[in-house]
Amino acid sequence: MAASPTLRRRRLARQLLKLRANKGMTVDAVGKEAKKRSPSRPWSAAKVTRIENRQLQHLREVDLLTLLDVYGVDGTEERAAYVKLAKEASQSGWWFGYRDVLGSGAYIDLETEAIRLRTYEALYVPGLLQTPGYAEAIIRGSGVTDEHEIARRVEARMMRRQIMERPDSPQLTALIDEAALRKIPDAVLADQLRHLIAMQRSNLRIRVVLDSSGPHPAMNGSFVLMEFPHDPPVVYLEQSVSGLFLEEERDLTHYEQVFTAVEGAALSAADSVAFLEENLNRSP
């Protein structure tokens, strides 16, 4: 399984925050104590806050060890585990080479290590289920005109799909609104529908939400629930410029309830296949 630097940064920040809370120290107190122990390094309350908020992408080993000294972590094995985690958090995944078209790649970074993905898509076929032709069509439809950029975006999207071919691939449940299927361009419709039908298997369930099911709680927009083996879950909301990650318990609970409600209104996996096959027979 590919390691997720974003996930490692979340874990490291969470653990360092817990250490500070256990010591009963404010960020100001930690900054001052760290400066005493390491006067040659730039320390402040703001720096401690950036570390805990994951705004500092690369935490230097010397700074990490200083924090561990401040928090009284002196066990050799425990300190080595923190150093290893910090190094993993500073690495770059395959998507780093596509940062020109993927931006930070934070979502893809987390996606690589998820063990369960549950997504509702209102207007698009989910990225992990797209064919090259469909991906190109929607990228062009979004206003991208540079041919090199289009090719790079399609290539990156196809590389994302590889996680579903791994032996440890995540369990994926995709609820796709009927409106998303109607928006598939005729030129790529048959190929995309065949792909969706072929992808149905025990760990990958595609379920269609019909127009006839009426209003439902997810009509405000698409979202993804992401679960990990050793870290808290995350909700991802895709936006036109950048994505939004939600980690608060109340947000997670809300989207769990929304997904459950929409899933209850969706066709079963078997009926969804039948619906897709019916549309395939009518496709141009």
Sequence spans of domains, the chain: 5-89, 103-282
Beta bridge partners of 205: 173
Query: Residue 44 — very low, low, confident or very high, per pLDDT cuts 50/70/90?
Result: very high
Residue 133: enclosing H or E segment and its boundaries? helix 132-141
Query: Residue 29 — very low, low, confident or very high, per pLDDT cuts 50/70/90?
Result: very high
**How confident is the model over 106-131, as pLDDT tens digits?**
788 788 889 999 999 999 999 999 99
**How confident is the model over 69-96, as pLDDT tens digits?**
999 999 999 999 899 888 888 776 666 6
pLDDT at residue 1 tops 60 = no
Kindly report the CATH class assigned to 5-89. mainly alpha
Say if residues 226 and 233 touch (Cβ distance below 8 Å).
yes
Measured CA distances, 8 to 83, 144, 182, 232, 255 (Å): 12, 33, 39, 12, 24
**Alpha carbon 123 to chain centroid distance?**
19
Residue of 163 and 191 predicted with greater confidence: 191
Kindly report the CATH class assigned to 103-282. alpha beta
DSSP type of residue 268: P
The alpha-helical segments, DSSP class H, found in 170-268 are 178-182, 186-199, 249-265
pLDDT at residue 249 tops 60 = yes
Q: What is the spatial distance between Cα 192 and Cα 108, in angstroms, rounded to a whole number?
A: 22
